[in-house]
Amino acid sequence: MISYLKTLFALLFIAAFLFSCEGSYDSLVEDQLEENPTPEPISGDAGSADFSNYIAIGNSLTAGYMDGALYNMGQEYSLAALLHQQMQYAGAPGNFNQPDINSELGFNTSVEQPQGGPILGRYKLDTSIPGPSPTVGGDEITPYEGDTGELNNFGVPGILVGQLLTPATGGPQSDPAFNPFYARFASNPGSSTILGDAVATQPSFFTLWIGNNDVLGYAVSGASNPNILTSEQDFENYFTTTISQLMNNTTASGVVATIPPVSTVPFFQAVSYDAVELSAEEATQLNQGLASVNAALQAVADQFPNRSQEDMDARKVNYQEGSNPILVNDPDLPKLDNEFDALGLPPEQRQALKPYEQSRPLNANELVTLSAGAVLGTELNPQSQTPTTIGVVIPLGYDSQESAFGDAYYLTVPEQQQIQSRTTAFNTIIATTVAQNSDRLALFDINAGFPGNPNTNLGAFADLFGVDGELGIRVQGTLLQPDFSPNGVFSTDGIHPNPRGNAILANEFIRVIESAFGASIPEVDVLDLPSVQLCAGNCVSQQQEKRVSENFTFGISVK
């Protein structure tokens, strides 16, 4: 009996203790909830929009192309995928089908693939250069294995606006309009069109961002090929036809974006016009070696009245310690071959002047392309006993066959003005066409806030490029830069956004959708997404004993 009572008292004691603890526990929980309330479920509202079948139409900016390739992670964080992710809070279904590339590194379309060598994939950032380097172990572009009739993302890297409308974009391969990224998922290669496939899905809502490549291709070529710059008339015909087909053949509403100022991207900013870094000794040696060139230029000014002193002075090379302008070939300059011939120089001296018949140093208002970084500082003739350093001794744009091939690596001021003028004209066409269909379409003016733009509201793009007085954009207190550094928002090809950059753009689209359609959509958490990826042993620059991309004899490098 005593044992029983002891046991009973023990149980009662434990029960009382537990009851007391339970009360304390409840009190603690209540205190915690007051201090850290349970987050409200994230929700949204489509407003007058219908996201039940959202599709995206565009080029590489829509497809998720970044780092010079279309690859898995890029598609995962494509602008279209991020937009759909947020639209799910406002009624969009869970599935968003993209033409999956199924490649970790992709196929780098920005480099010349080696014959018989490994396939080069996406760029990564090699901080030891510093600069981008392609990766080893990419994959060929292969056909899409999914159901092409179920796609939502019709972004195709590299296309012009006219390629939305022509069956040749899907084949044959010999046609100039052929694009392998569309051919791989075309519903009927050679017969179907990108826009036709998109319309066939009968979308309820769409985004359209097209036209960048109609000016960008010309710009990245250094404005050296006028044939690839779309005319205003052609652009207007193609763009208005695109909108007309979307309006007449679907009931969808949508957002249409304008073209950003392409020359602001890192592709035209990473390599400075004065990227030639010299020591005092190097500068002295170079000036001694190039003294005969300056003497010949002065002789031309003295002996030929039609060649001004100002022109000849602008062509002379005078190096100093520190940063120096890149020496380039300029096909817009009067060629001095006849004048050099008339100087009566010995054949050997006359031959030595051949690279300088149309050469000059760049000036501070000119832009250098990122692709020049792989050529600058390399030797034109590595076997030569004297330096033949490209961009320093030999003009950039002069090849080993002793022929000048133009200004493919830089943009002059008139070329920049031409590119900006054409971009403005295209954007006017876009804005006008959208305004004519304002009952169903909204305009995303990516140039909002830039000087000269009537839309003075500061957009993310203008903010990023310092229109507000601070270069970079602050996100949750973190300053993100307009470059491809680890804290940048561009990918390592210098043109396309990285995942964080796409998130910033997605949030801009969301703001337009909310304003135009009365929707409420949560924004993408920009800082939750990855930034630039660093080389980790599989970059080309890490495979070679002598790194081509960092072989800058005089310290030329990408900023």
3-state SS string for 106-169 = CCCCCCCCCCCCCCEEEEEEECCCCEEEEEECCCCCCCCCCCHHHCCEEECCCCCHHHHCCHHH
Residues 465 and 507 in one domain: yes
* Residue pLDDT, tens place only, 416-468: 999 999 999 999 999 999 999 999 999 999 999 888 888 888 889 889 988 88
Q: For residue 148, is it within any domain?
A: yes
As a whole number of angstroms, the distance between CA 96 and CA 62 comes to 13
- What is the rounded average pLDDT of the residues 157-185? 97
Residues 402 and 420 in one domain: no
* Residue pLDDT, tens place only, 249-284: 999 999 999 999 999 999 999 999 999 999 999 999
Across 25-29, 119-123, 384-388, 451-455, least confident range:
25-29
Which pair of structure tokens corresponds to residue 330? 């300029």
Residues 334 and 187 in one domain: no
Burial class (CB in 10 A: 0-12, 13-18, 19+), 108: buried
- What is the rounded average pLDDT of the residues 468-474? 91
Residue 12 above 70 pLDDT?
no
- What is the rounded average pLDDT of the residues 160-179? 97
Q: Can you give the pLDDT at residue 29?
A: 47
Output phi, psi for 426, to 5 deg: -65, -40
- What is the rounded average pLDDT of the residues 342-362? 94
Q: For residue 507, is it within any domain?
A: yes
Q: For residue 7, is it within any domain?
A: no
Across 27-41, 91-105, 172-186, least confident range:
27-41
Question: In the 8-state DSSP scheme, what is residue 476?
Answer: T
- Count CB neighbours of 261 within 10 A: 20
* Residue pLDDT, tens place only, 66-86: 999 999 999 999 999 999 999
In this structure, are residues 134 and 122 in contact, taking their beta carbons and an 8 Å threshold?
yes
> pLDDT band for position 240 (50/70/90)?
very high
* Residue pLDDT, tens place only, 527-556: 999 999 999 899 998 886 433 333 333 344
- Count CB neighbours of 16 within 10 A: 10
CATH label of the domain that carries residue 516: 3.40.50.1110
Q: Can you give the pLDDT at residue 173?
A: 94
Q: Can you give the pLDDT at residue 455?
A: 86
Residues 138 and 284 in one domain: no
Nearest to 280 by CA among 319, 327, 325, 326: 319
Residues 83 and 135 in one domain: yes
Domain count, the chain: 2
Task: Give residue for tokens 């876009």.
Answer: 430
Output phi, psi for 132, to 5 deg: -75, 150
* Single-letter amino acid, residue 342: A
* Single-letter amino acid, residue 509: F
Residue 38 above 90 pLDDT?
no
Q: For residue 403, is it within any domain?
A: yes
Q: For residue 556, is it within any domain?
A: no
Question: In the 8-state DSSP scheme, what is residue 497?
Answer: B
In this structure, are residues 172 and 221 in contact, taking their beta carbons and an 8 Å threshold?
no
Provide the whole-model pTM: 0.88
Average of per-residue pLDDT values in the chain: 89
Residue 235 above 50 pLDDT?
yes
Q: Which residues of 463-478 are buried (b: 16+ CB within 10 A; e: fewer)?
A: bbbebeeeebbebeee
Nearest to 106 by CA among 76, 129, 126: 76
Residues 398 and 431 in one domain: no
Residues 257 and 312 in one domain: no
Residue 21 above 70 pLDDT?
no
Q: Can you give the pLDDT at residue 128?
A: 87
* Sign, CA torsion 532/535/536/540: positive
Which pair of structure tokens corresponds to residue 287? 């000036």
- What is the rounded average pLDDT of the residues 282-299? 96
What are the E-state strand segments in 264-368?
Answer: 276-278, 322-324, 327-329, 359-361, 367-368
Residues 237 and 180 in one domain: yes
> If you write DSSP's letter for every residue of 389-414 in order, what string do you get?
BBTTTBPBTB-TTS-B--STTEE-HH
The 3-state secondary structure of 454-465, one letter per residue: CCCCCCHHHHHE
Residues 110 and 209 in one domain: yes
Helix (H, G, I), strand (E, B) or coil at 344: coil
- What is the rounded average pLDDT of the residues 203-208? 98
Residues 105 and 157 in one domain: yes
Domain that holds residue 374: 280-320+327-361+370-407
Proportion of the chain above pLDDT 70, given as a percent: 89
Output phi, psi for 475, to 5 deg: -125, 115
Residues 290 and 265 in one domain: no
Pairing of strands 276-278, 473-475: unpaired
- What is the rounded average pLDDT of the residues 191-197? 98
Q: For residue 339, is it within any domain?
A: yes
Q: Can you give the pLDDT at residue 387?
A: 87
Higher pLDDT, 35 or 266: 266
Q: Give ∠ CA 460-415-373 in degrees, rounded to 5.
A: 75
Residue 495 above 90 pLDDT?
yes
Q: Can you give the pLDDT at residue 450?
A: 86
Task: Give residue for tokens 């349970």.
Answer: 38
As a whole number of angstroms, the distance between CA 388 and CA 279 comes to 18
Q: CA 178, 183, 188, 191: dihedral to nearest 10 degrees?
A: -10
Which pair of structure tokens corresponds to residue 502? 């796409």
